[in-house]
Structure 1
Amino acid sequence: MSDKLGIIADDFTGALMVAGYLEAAGIHCPVVFDSLAVTGAAPVIIAGTRTRTVPVPEALTQVKRMAEAFLAAGFTRLAYKACASFDSTAEGNIGPAADLLADLQGLRPVLMSAGFPRFGSTVHQGYLFYRGRLVSESIKRFDPLTPMPDPDLVRFLALQTPHRIGLVPHATLRRGRDAAWAAVDALKADGAGHVLFDTTDDDDVEIAADLAAARPAILAASDPLIIAYAERLARGAPAAPPLPPFGAGPAAVLAGTVGPVILSQLAAFGAVHPVLTLDLLDPRGEAVAIAAALDWAAPLIGMQPFAISTATDQQGVGRTQGALGPTGAARLAEFLLGSIAMGLRERGVKRLVVAGGETSGAVVTALGIASVRALPEGPLGTGFCVTDGPDPLSLYLKPGKLGADDVLLRALEVMR
């Protein structure tokens, strides 16, 4: 394969999701969290970053560092991977990241696609739907950092970039590749710097992927287009090396996401195993709260799994955000759980389930993990991985809003 693909993901769970699908297709796709871990040893590498909710300058610093590492390692194609619901704010980071990559390689227009039909996230006529409802009317409206108030992605993304955004709708994609190419070329001639494809169904994704692979392009897209694009570019690449086994040892769950999904999952877990819920407004302070959590966990390590969580209901979210602000509350939760993760590893925990994309980023960063091997999609989907090195740590990094009520229990069984 001549066109190696470097993918920059806006969070860690999304990076693992893409890698898991590609590994299942027989494509070697290491996941790196540090630019120094980028090598030219695989046809596709995906870098997990924490660019979704940080300020734009910080996000662009991360994207630029990873992009330059990919280019230095001989990667000729770059893509920015956003989540299916294009979680963002009017100020943030999809448009600026896409513009940075386009400017680095001198390629326009950027090809964009949101949604993931398999999981009920679709785009039709440029409008984003989540589980059959406009994203602004779905449970996504409760997201504390990226509530997505406008479902019109052309209008919403236009707030993030000075370049005009054009749309190739489902009706055009249904007419085939030639019609879709003609639409892209017409939008480019009309001055569009970004072209958004509808994702009404999987056929839309396949057409968009064919177009993206046929010419040099920058992608800023969600999982299905990134996966289909990588599969096309990696055809003919050497087979992936054997997968590592899970590491054995004591297990724990860390949950920092919010909302009804994780609360139901923790309730199911708590019916079988102990759960400790941290109060972000604990007057004792961060150091005491961390030490107390580790003291609580110490007698359980190796005896039975347990969970430590900052998740709370909408009333609790309102209380903490009122005192700390949305970003302050999120960052405090990440700091607490990342610090607790370090303490648990020092005390012998070898299997960690982490719920929430931002929480996963905080935990992996706190543990100093530079790269992992993602495992193929299984009955619980993607997100399972094993760290590199002689003392492996098994991880399941779970998006906060996915999974059945018993997913935390089942994940620990899978990791045995």
Structure 2
Amino acid sequence: MPLIGCIADDLTGATDLASMLVQGGARTLQVMGVPSAPLETADIDALVVALKSRSLPPTEAVRESLRALAWLHRQGCRQFYFKYCSTFDSTAEGNIGPVTDALLAALDSDFTVACPGYPENRRTVFNGYLFADGVPLNESGMQDHPLTPMNDANLVRVLKPQTRRPVGLLDYATLRRGVAATRARIAELRTAGIGIAICDSIDDADLETLGRACVDLPLVTAGSGLALGLTTAWRDRGALPASGDAASLLPPRGRRAILSGSCSRATLAQLQQARALYPSFHLEAGELMERGNGLVAEAIAWSAVQHADQAVLISASSPPDEVRRVQERFGGLAVGERIEHALGEIARALVYRQDVGQLLVTGGETSGAVVRALKVGGLRIGPRIDPGVPWTQAIGDDGKVLSLALKSGNFGSVDFMVKAWEALA
């Protein structure tokens, strides 16, 4: 039976976590939403359920997360992991706090940790303050996020309004004293009535200490970084068998394509480099709102006449000021939904009509739209391109293999869209 059952609040976050579990030697299967029936998991160490709950109203996010928990219970999972973004992005209403409260109650547990730190991807927490790319979160570009702008780097302050439980801090000084000291501090926090502890994490050593200290908690909540410490702890206990093929995939096939909907700084820099190398088509949001299916059809027709040996790039990504201008004119929700629908339609045409078998997608919402359009039910997790972004494979009922890389907007080096193909070869 699977050792760990994971509930991720968006698709790229689920893939990020699954990649870290594979890196730690856990054979991992990711499913899209809560399956309607049990799965055969004899060769699986970890299950990851990808939800689209980050931007849902809190009551809906809680309901979906509890459904996922119940299914993972039925699959026999022994520990549970609620995964959110390493930028901890949420609103004063949630959804990190409400979902954590509900999962703790369902597991009859009184305590968990909150550890968004992911030092390898330049997300660190110091004295409860989250830093992204070396600057406080509210100066990193996340203050411009169109759905969940983050204007405070102090995670204790961010989380308190979202939860019914007292929030505390498990600081770096404790972690540096080792596993025993960390366990003792957790016991002190629980005795003091703390229900959720924000955890510092400056480097991977902190994550390994925390993973060993938390290996017996029924629930952990984190970004994907904590998987590093947990897999180490499971291996130490002999609960996780060594597996040399955890990241193995079938050989890739078909044409290559990139679909981009993210407007993050990292993605915009990656696109700038990729446009110099690949033929590209830009879906300008305002034009898309006005022309709709006409512009989508134009993009599909453009792709069809490009050279089959060359990756094609179709992007709806724009700088934040351009995004705001279009949102002010048409409405933020309407613009986002139109872009998602357009890129989903384009993905379907590329895969089913133009023989694209290797598809790189940027942006959490875009990735979700593409996976839904392609009716992908599950993914095997393969080799890593960059921290938090692996190649995956979906295998259809007809045996057709589709290689997918689903990238969170903020992740990846500037040459990500170039080196991704090398990792799949």
CA contact (8 A) 2:97 2:159 kept: yes
Partner of 1:272: 277
Query: Distance in 1 between the 2:402 and 2:2 partners?
Result: 32
Query: Distance in 2 between the 1:314 and 1:356 partners?
Result: 14
SS of equivalent residue, structure 1 residue 281 = helix
Query: Distance in 1 between the 2:336 and 2:38 partners?
Result: 29
Q: What do residues 127-173 of structure 1 show as CA deviations (whole Å, max 9, x unaligned)?
A: 11112211111222222222211111011111111111111111122
TM-score normalised by the chain length of structure 1 = 0.93
Partner of 1:223: 224
Is residue 351 of structure 1 aligned with residue 352 of structure 2? no
User: Gaps (5+ residues) in structure 1?
Assistant: none
Partner of 1:22: 21
- Give, in angstroms, the shift of residue 87 of structure 1: 1.7
SS of equivalent residue, structure 1 residue 159 = helix
- Give, in angstroms, the shift of residue 38 of structure 1: 5.4
- Give, in angstroms, the shift of residue 6 of structure 1: 0.1
Correspondences of 1:92-103 after superposition (within 5 Å): 92-103=94-105
Q: Percent identity between the aligned chains?
A: 33
**Cα distance, 1:361–1:97 mapped onto 2, change above 3 Å:** same
Q: Decide which of 404, 407, 413 is 1:398's aligned counterpart.
A: 407
Query: Distance in 1 between the 2:124 and 2:38 partners?
Result: 32
SS of equivalent residue, structure 2 residue 361 = strand
Query: Distance in 2 between the 1:386 and 1:358 partners?
Result: 19
Stretch deviating more after TM superposition (245-254 or 174-183)? 174-183
Query: Distance in 2 between the 1:108 and 1:141 partners?
Result: 32
Aligned residue identity for 1:219 = V
Aligned residue identity for 1:47 = V
Query: Distance in 2 between the 1:76 and 1:86 partners?
Result: 25
Stretch deviating more after TM superposition (401-410 or 254-263)? 401-410
Aligned residue identity for 1:344 = L
Partner of 2:421: 412
Partner of 1:31: 30
Partner of 1:146: 148
**Cα distance, 1:186–1:404 mapped onto 2, change above 3 Å:** closer
Partner of 2:306: 300
SS of equivalent residue, structure 1 residue 61 = helix
**Cα distance, 1:275–1:222 mapped onto 2, change above 3 Å:** same
User: Gaps (5+ residues) in structure 2?
Assistant: none
Query: Distance in 1 between the 2:387 and 2:254 partners?
Result: 21
Q: Decide which of 283, 287, 294 is 2:293's aligned counterpart.
A: 287
- Give, in angstroms, the shift of residue 284 of structure 1: 4.0
Partner of 2:394: 387
Aligned residue identity for 1:224 = G
- Give, in angstroms, the shift of residue 372 of structure 1: 1.0
Partner of 1:232: 233
- Give, in angstroms, the shift of residue 332 of structure 1: 2.3
Query: Distance in 1 between the 2:38 and 2:154 partners?
Result: 36
**Cα distance, 1:408–1:380 mapped onto 2, change above 3 Å:** farther
Correspondences of 1:62-73 after superposition (within 5 Å): 62-73=64-75
Query: Distance in 2 between the 1:14 and 1:197 partners?
Result: 19
SS of equivalent residue, structure 2 residue 202 = coil
Query: Distance in 1 between the 2:130 and 2:24 partners?
Result: 28
Query: Distance in 2 between the 1:149 and 1:263 partners?
Result: 22
CA contact (8 A) 1:258 1:311 kept: yes
Count how many residue pairs are aligned between Structure 1 and Structure 2.
Answer: 414
Aligned residue identity for 2:116 = A
- Give, in angstroms, the shift of residue 239 of structure 1: 5.0
- Give, in angstroms, the shift of residue 274 of structure 1: 1.6
Query: Distance in 1 between the 2:23 and 2:180 partners?
Result: 31
Query: Distance in 1 between the 2:81 and 2:191 partners?
Result: 23
Query: Distance in 2 between the 1:3 and 1:402 partners?
Result: 28
SS of equivalent residue, structure 1 residue 123 = strand
CA contact (8 A) 2:32 2:50 kept: yes
Partner of 1:331: 337
Give the alignment's Cα RMSD to 1 decimal.
2.2
Query: Distance in 2 between the 1:159 and 1:178 partners?
Result: 31
Query: Distance in 1 between the 2:185 and 2:151 partners?
Result: 28
